[in-house]
């Protein structure tokens, strides 16, 4: 095996990468802890194939291990399949309703929603919706399990499953329709709720810890033991966190008082139960941005739990969560592990997920930590529970690669590599390994590697894999611990979904184990052998995040600021410009005109004492000169091939990414944008450049044949219109500015750009980069200045062949009148303006998801987004719960300097904006109910800050215009008033964005059809449209269209020419 080890060391920016071959050497974990720690983060998104090439030799078995594993796995699978009780209720559900089917997804959706919808009318509507769209008939009688058929219908009337006889009843679909028509929704609702409770009992051991321990006695009598998990997801509020903490304390107390071992007839082979805790449930801000709070507040809280657990000798395990929290969780674990109150105990452990590329170096660091302190670490090895979301988040965020493996067999190989390390003889007594898996091959492979090592256990999930582990215990005499959720059924959903995502797909081992049609040979293939048979070690069918748009264009690059190896170089590149002073002025024919005696000082919105630079505003003469040069240059630029013009934009996109550090610093210091907002700003600008470049190349390079009404074929081509005026806002000073300018240029126009006066430095730097990218000096002119002195003369000039504008509705109307008053032919006016953006939430919605999306939609970017949420409509049946959560979540918001990672909400753009918003807040205090207001620290006193505020108002009608800042208005409504709510929103005249939260497809489709808005977002936040994916623009008072970043936008900048 050593001969096959890849000895290559990979380096990222000078950091020596982890060499997997060295971990089995006893001296490896004798290295300094800091050195081993430094090897973890660089592997976050390491090249998958190269890293697997290092891991595979560790996972590859010896011939003896291979033979033993195959024999034992075959025997185990055959025993399970021969076992009459093998297919438990929950296994049957997974087998019949995998998440490969629409019905499986609908069943989960209906199940979780019905458990918490408080009003009958909405619950009945949801039942109607779900029963009408699924192909339930294909599942009837496919399984003999009572549970599957009960869950299929949820029609357990008087405790009996509705039976269907095809001879008597005809086609199943007829019976379904007849049942639904014959029985009222309330009857079905009651029956479905009963079925869901049965489902809950299968997944949850007990509603309380006392009930769970009672229900678990029968398994303990067979030698099993438990790790109790108190159901509860990430806390949104301090109150949520306190509730979950009390639940954990109660669990520790109950387990500590457990008298099972002393009872007569108890099974002495059953080890003591333990408790598993989820860190995100114990603090509302468990994230890297709030590391200081986590290592202080959260440390003290968890330490108090550990002290009590140690007094009662109840083992505690920290569950694993999302990849971004891994490094933070390890820092917290080390601090707790080294606490005097925990030293010497040896029953404080954690979970490591092997689908993570960082799993092996994490284990090496933990081994060194345990060796250093001398206390064993119980370590649960799992494969991973967030795979789907990790991939989608990476794609959405534009990361270079994934933090997890993209093949199942790669995760399995990583698991075995990690297991070999944990079972190494020199680590005996360092870890207490706990191998969690429902895969018979994995279990057998672990046994083969363990040899004489017996100081470990297996773990499984409650309600799944019962038969498998009954036979594992019988064959190998090993300890088996059951991970058992405890809590109310309404808290079941997030846990349930993770279990189904792990085990519900047709490809999962759990699914295939009980499928008699699946050959045993396919279940005992070694993952290393499967990997070797693949053309590539990574899954080439899953494109890396930069390639998700295929050959059309490259995705813009993001930075994961929660990962140390990415944050450190990024932060240094931004800090290099922390004191830089920029100068800007008009750029006319490629030359910057900076008049040192006629400049306007630029100061930071977060602290007006801080100088950022200065800008020279354009004069009337310079406006005229810029227009003349742009007009003279039009013919030469427009005659260039579209592909050549597009190449300039592609070079500009690369230059923007090359200058990310400087541009982020500018976004902080001139526009007051937070770190993530600044990164997203640059990414959107890059996406605009690449999207429009690709579209222009495809659509404008060659004339297209079109058939006329007379049957004659003609050639249709597109060319620019002339000089375009691009007037952009301060809230997206780079993205919208370059979005307008790049579209106009690539369509063949020359451009005179007038940026918002508040953000002229950013615009100036963007045009410098544009000239560097090869755009001719005559094609682009920059005129910083006020609307009165620059904007008005531009739009009144007859040389302007079109206007692209983003800003207020009032300014757009003035521009429209100005264009109409000219004595020349009409020209295109492309306007994206304001909005009174609403979100409608019905009682099927998940409150926690609603609140996360509301807080982001209303308060991200200090509410200074065109798309930001202004008015939240909540169905009154859940209003108190949702408003309470909003209040708690707002209490956790951090207002402060935008360059700080811990800041959630930065300043507004200037004193004028601040004063207008403060006036509105004061007026609301006289006519509305204050729900919550975040605090603004004293350190912000020299900046233009507005506290994020939420008010409950009687109606949207009291809002006469848009208030462009962090102010949320909340309106309650009855379920029967939904159409009136939509009417009131439409009657404002605005129509930019809308959010809808509902699990009822008919409801959200109805709202989407009736709402007169440009962008409607369903079951997500309503900000952050992605170029080319969610074209953005409004209607009515919110814009003219066509939508930016969409397929029709560029055509508005052109005129067509038809040649016979």
Hey, which residues are catalytic here?
832, 866
Three-class DSSP category at 765: helix
Distance CA 358, CA 327 (A): 10
Q: Are 352 and 383 in contact (CB under 8 A)?
A: no
What is the DSSP pairing of strand 723-727 with strand 780-782?
unpaired
Q: Of 276, 259, 274, 277, which Cα lies nearest the Cα of 217?
A: 259
Q: Are 697 and 643 in contact (CB under 8 A)?
A: yes
**Which residues are paired to 716 by β-bridges?**
704, 1058
Q: Are 1047 and 695 in contact (CB under 8 A)?
A: yes
The secondary structure element, H or E, covering residue 931 is strand 929-933
Which tokens hold the place of 203?
């997944």
What is the DSSP pairing of strand 600-604 with strand 829-832?
unpaired
Q: Are 654 and 705 in contact (CB under 8 A)?
A: no
The secondary structure element, H or E, covering residue 665 is helix 660-671
Query: Angle at CA 634, nearest 5°, toward 632 and 639?
Result: 130
Helix, strand, coil % over all residues of the chain, rounded to 5: 50, 15, 35
Q: Could you write out the three-class secondary structure of 966-1018? A: CEEEEEEECHHHHHHHHHHHHHCCCCCEEEEECCCHHHHHHHHHHCCCCEEEE
Distance CA 669, CA 377 (A): 46
Q: Are 436 and 446 in contact (CB under 8 A)?
A: no
Q: Are 728 and 755 in contact (CB under 8 A)?
A: yes
Which residue shows structure tokens 């009148």? 817
Distance CA 665, CA 762 (A): 10
The backbone torsions φ and ψ at residue 866, rounded to the nearest 5 degrees and listed phi first, read -55, -35
Distance CA 950, CA 930 (A): 6
**Which residues are paired to 723 by β-bridges?**
750, 800
Neighbours of 229 (CB within 10 A): 25
Based on its alpha-carbon atoms, the radius of gyration of the chain, rounded to whole angstroms, reads 32
Q: Are 746 and 775 in contact (CB under 8 A)?
A: no
b/e burial code for range 799-811 (CB count within 10 A of at least 16 → b): bbbbbbbbbebeb
């Amino acid at each position: 095996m050593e001969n096959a080890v890849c000895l290559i060391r990979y380096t990222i920016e000078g950091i020596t990468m982890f060499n997997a071959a060295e971990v089995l050497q006893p001296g490896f974990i004798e290295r300094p802890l800091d050195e081993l720690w430094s090897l973890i983060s660089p592997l976050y998104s390491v090249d998958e194939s190269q890293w697997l090439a290092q891991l595979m030799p560790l996972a590859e078995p010896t011939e003896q291990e291979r033979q033993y594993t195959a024999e034992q796995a075959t025997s185990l699978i055959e025993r399970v399949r021969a076992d009459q009780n093998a297919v438990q209720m929950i296994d049957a559900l997974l087998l019949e309703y995998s998440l490969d089917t629409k019905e499986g997804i609908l069943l989960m959706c209906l199940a979780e929603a019905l458990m918490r919808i408080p009003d009958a009318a909405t619950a009945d509507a949801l039942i109607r919706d779900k029963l009408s769209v699924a192909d339930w008939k294909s599942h009837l009688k496919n399984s003999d399990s009572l549970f599957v058929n009960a869950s299929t219908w949820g029609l357990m009337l008087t405790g009996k499953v509705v039976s269907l006889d095809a001879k008597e009843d005809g086609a199943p679909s007829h019976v379904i329709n007849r049942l639904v028509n014959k029985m009222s929704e309330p009857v079905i609702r009651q029956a479905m709720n009963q079925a869901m409770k049965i489902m809950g009992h299968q997944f949850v051991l007990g509603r309380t810890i006392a009930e769970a321990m009672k229900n678990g006695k029968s398994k303990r009598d067979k030698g099993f033991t438990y790790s109790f998990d108190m159901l509860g997801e990430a806390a949104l509020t301090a109150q949520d966190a306190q509730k979950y903490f009390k639940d954990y304390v109660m669990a520790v107390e109950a387990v500590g008082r457990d008298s099972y071992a002393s009872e007569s007839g108890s099974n002495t082979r059953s080890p003591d139960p333990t408790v598993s805790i989820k860190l995100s449930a114990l603090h509302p801000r468990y994230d890297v941005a709030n590391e200081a709070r986590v290592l202080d507040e959260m440390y003290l809280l968890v330490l108090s739990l550990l002290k009590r657990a140690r007094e009662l000798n109840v083992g505690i395990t920290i569950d694993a969560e999302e990849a971004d929290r891994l490094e933070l969780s390890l820092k917290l674990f080390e601090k707790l592990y080294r606490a005097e109150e925990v030293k010497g105990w040896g029953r404080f452990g954690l979970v490591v997920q092997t689908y993570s590329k960082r799993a092996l170096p994490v284990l090496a660091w933990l081994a060194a930590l345990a060796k250093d302190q001398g206390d064993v670490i119980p370590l649960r090895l799992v494969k991973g529970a967030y795979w789907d979301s990790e991939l989608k988040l990476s794609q959405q965020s534009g990361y270079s690669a994934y933090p997890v493996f993209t093949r199942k067999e790669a995760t399995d190989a990583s698991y075995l590599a990690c297991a070999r390390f944990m079972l190494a003889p020199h680590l005996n007594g360092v870890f207490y390994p706990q191998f969690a898996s429902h895969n018979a091959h994995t279990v057998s492979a672990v046994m083969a590697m363990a040899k004489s090592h017996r100081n470990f256990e297996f773990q499984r999930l409650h309600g799944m894999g019962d038969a498998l582990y009954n036979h594992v215990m019988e064959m190998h005499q090993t300890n088996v611990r059951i991970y058992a959720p405890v809590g109310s059924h309404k808290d079941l959903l997030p846990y349930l979904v993770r279990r189904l995502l792990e085990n519900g797909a047709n490809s999962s081992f759990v699914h295939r184990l009980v499928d008699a049609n699946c050959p045993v040979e396919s279940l005992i293939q070694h993952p290393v052998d499967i990997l070797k048979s693949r053309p590539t070690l990574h899954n080439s069918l899953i494109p890396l995040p930069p390639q998700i748009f295929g050959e059309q264009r490259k995705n813009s690059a993001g930075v994961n600021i929660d990962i140390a190896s990415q944050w450190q170089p990024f932060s240094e590149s931004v800090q290099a410009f922390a004191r830089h002073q920029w100068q800007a002025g008009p750029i006319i024919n490629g030359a910057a005109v900076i008049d040192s005696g006629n400049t306007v000082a630029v100061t930071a919105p977060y602290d007006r004492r801080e100088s950022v630079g200065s800008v020279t505003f354009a004069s009337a003469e310079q406006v005229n000169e810029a227009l003349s040069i742009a007009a003279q240059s039009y013919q030469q630029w427009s005659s260039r091939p579209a592909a050549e013009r597009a190449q300039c934009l592609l070079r500009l996109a690369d230059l923007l990414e090359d200058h990310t550090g400087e541009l982020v610093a500018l976004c902080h210091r001139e526009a007051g944008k937070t770190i993530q907002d600044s990164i997203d700003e640059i990414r959107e600008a890059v996406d605009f450049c690449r999207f429009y470049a690709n579209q222009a190349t495809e659509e404008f390079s060659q004339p297209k044949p079109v058939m006329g009404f007379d049957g004659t074929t003609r050639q249709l081509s597109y060319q620019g219109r002339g000089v375009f005026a691009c007037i952009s806002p301060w809230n997206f000073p780079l993205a919208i500015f370059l979005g307008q300018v790049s579209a106009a240029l690539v369509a063949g126009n020359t451009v005179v750009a007038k940026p918002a006066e508040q953000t002229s430095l950013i615009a100036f730097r963007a045009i410098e980069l544009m000239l560097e990218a090869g755009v001719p000096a005559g094609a682009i002119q920059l005129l910083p200045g006020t609307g009165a002195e620059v904007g008005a003369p531009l739009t009144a000039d007859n040389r302007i062949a079109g206007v692209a504008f983003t800003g207020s509705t009032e300014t757009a109307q003035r521009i429209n009148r100005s264009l109409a008053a000219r004595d020349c032919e009409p020209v295109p006016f492309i306007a994206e303006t304001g909005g009174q953006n609403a979100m409608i939430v019905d009682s099927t919605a998940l409150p926690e998801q609603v609140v996360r999306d509301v807080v982001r939609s209303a308060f991200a970017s200090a509410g200074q987004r065109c798309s930001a949420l202004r008015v939240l409509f909540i169905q009154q049946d859940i209003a108190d719960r949702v408003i309470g959560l909003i209040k708690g979540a707002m209490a956790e918001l951090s207002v402060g300097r935008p360059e700080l990672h811990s800041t959630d909400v930065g300043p507004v753009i200037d004193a004028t904006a601040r004063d207008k918003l403060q006036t509105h807040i004061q007026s609301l205090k006289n006519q509305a109910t204050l729900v919550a207001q975040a605090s603004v620290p004293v350190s912000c006193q020299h900046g233009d800050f507005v506290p994020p505020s939420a008010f409950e108002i009687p109606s949207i009608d009291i809002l006469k215009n848009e208030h462009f800042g962090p102010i949320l208005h909340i309106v309650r409504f009855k379920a029967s008033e939904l159409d009136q709510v939509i009417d009131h929103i439409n009657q404002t005249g605005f129509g930019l964005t809308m959010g809808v939260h509902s699990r009822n497809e008919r409801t959200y489709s109805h709202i989407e059809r009736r709402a007169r808005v440009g962008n409607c977002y369903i079951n997500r936040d309503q900000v952050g449209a992605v170029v080319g994916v969610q074209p953005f623009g409004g209607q009515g008072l919110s814009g003219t269209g066509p939508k930016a970043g969409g397929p029709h936008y560029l055509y508005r900048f052109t005129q067509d020419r038809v040649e016979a």
